Amino acid sequence: MMMKKKELKREEEEKTPVKEEADFQFWSNILKRPFATVAELKEAENKYSEEEKKKKELSQTKKERAEEIQNAYKELLDTKKKADEIINKARQEAFKLIETKEHCYNELVNSFCRDYGSYHMSYSNANGDERISISDTLDSFNSLFDLLLR
């Protein structure tokens, strides 16, 4: 009987599958997780590195476009500044021209008044009509204010 027990034990051991060596897992230091095979590990790391490369490229593109926008804004501000300078210079020249024409007109009127005692003038609107209306006067003031506000 004893023999039989030993034989039975051997038969049972033979029937049960032999445990293979311990399952190995390959650790990825990049992804911080285990993989069953080296091929899976390399594939996952390559995929990860490609994704990171795409993210960096996208970030670089985004940064370049943001710089382009900032440069365009600086150019806009410079252009506005130059335009304001040109407008102010033109406005000053226009006022000087108006001032000289007014001075010439006033000199002529004063000279006429000294020689003849008085001067009478009929004003007309832009259409050449002799009569002047309140809207024509307001239009004159509006154009003057527009000139000043520009």
Distance, in Å, from the CA atom of 114 to the CA atom of 116, rounded to the nearest integer, reads 6
Distance, in Å, from the CA atom of 144 to the CA atom of 126, rounded to the nearest integer, reads 15
pLDDT at 18: 45
Q: pLDDT tens digit string along 69-94?
A: 999 999 999 999 999 999 999 999 99
pTM of whole model > 0.85? no
pLDDT at 21: 44
Name the more confident of 12 and 91: 91
Q: Which of 13-17, 30-34, 60-64, 108-112 has the lowest mean pLDDT?
A: 13-17
Q: pLDDT tens digit string along 26-66?
A: 888 888 889 888 898 899 999 999 999 999 999 999 999 99
